[in-house]
Amino acid sequence: MEDTKLGRAGSNGSPTSALTIVLIALTVGMGIAAAVFWNSARTRETTVSESQAQLAQSKTENGQLQVQLTEANTKVAALEKQAQEAQQAAAKVQTQWDEAKLATAAAEKKLAEATAATGAIQTQLDTSTAGAAGMQTQADAAKIAQDELQKKLAEGTAAAAKLQAQWNESQAANAELQAKLTQAQTDLAALQKPAKKK
């Protein structure tokens, strides 16, 4: 009887131990799975936070590049306007220079005519004794006219030289503005390249 009871007791204890082992194994497995899931979730949260930080930094950099691009466009537009104004001023000076040259040529022609007239009157004065006083008066008047034309020619020459100096200064200013415009366009192109990459 005692052997039979012991045999039954042994038979009843074996399934309980197996069940306990299974429960422990399940508990450990669930713990491992929970740890793995927690680590995975934490890694994803870290990745998302880093991505958000990179996105915010990228937006900030893009905003800064946009500001620089806007400033560069404004600078280029201002330089283009200055270059146009300088070209217009140079064209105006060139027109004045051409007009001054025409006026100088006309004055030189008149001076040559007055000189020829003075020579003719002087010849008449030398060869004619009659009306010497009248001829002298004409010669004096012609000489005065010649002196006046000589004075106008000198003034025209001085004005032409002044206009030439202004034209040279205008050309130099135009060249400087053109160089600034080229540099600004180069800077603008350099700013636009990284802006496109972003």
Phi, psi of 24 (to 5 degrees): -65, -45
Which whole number is the average pLDDT over 47-55?
78
Question: Which of 108, 100, 72, 79 lies closest to 164, judged by CA?
Answer: 100
First to last CA, the chain: 90
Rounded to the nearest 5 degrees, what angle is found at the Cα of 103, between the Cα atoms of 97 and 104?
90
Please check the confidence at residue 8 and state whether its pLDDT lies above 50. Answer: no
Percent of the chain with pLDDT over 90: 1
Helix (H, G, I), strand (E, B) or coil at 131: coil
pLDDT in tens, 64-120: 888 888 888 888 888 888 888 888 888 888 888 888 888 888 888 888 888 888 888
pLDDT in tens, 112-143: 888 888 888 878 777 776 666 777 787 788 88
Q: How far apart are CA 64 and CA 56, in angstroms?
A: 12
Those residues with Cβ within 8 angstroms of residue 152's Cβ, 6 or more apart along the chain or in another chain: 107
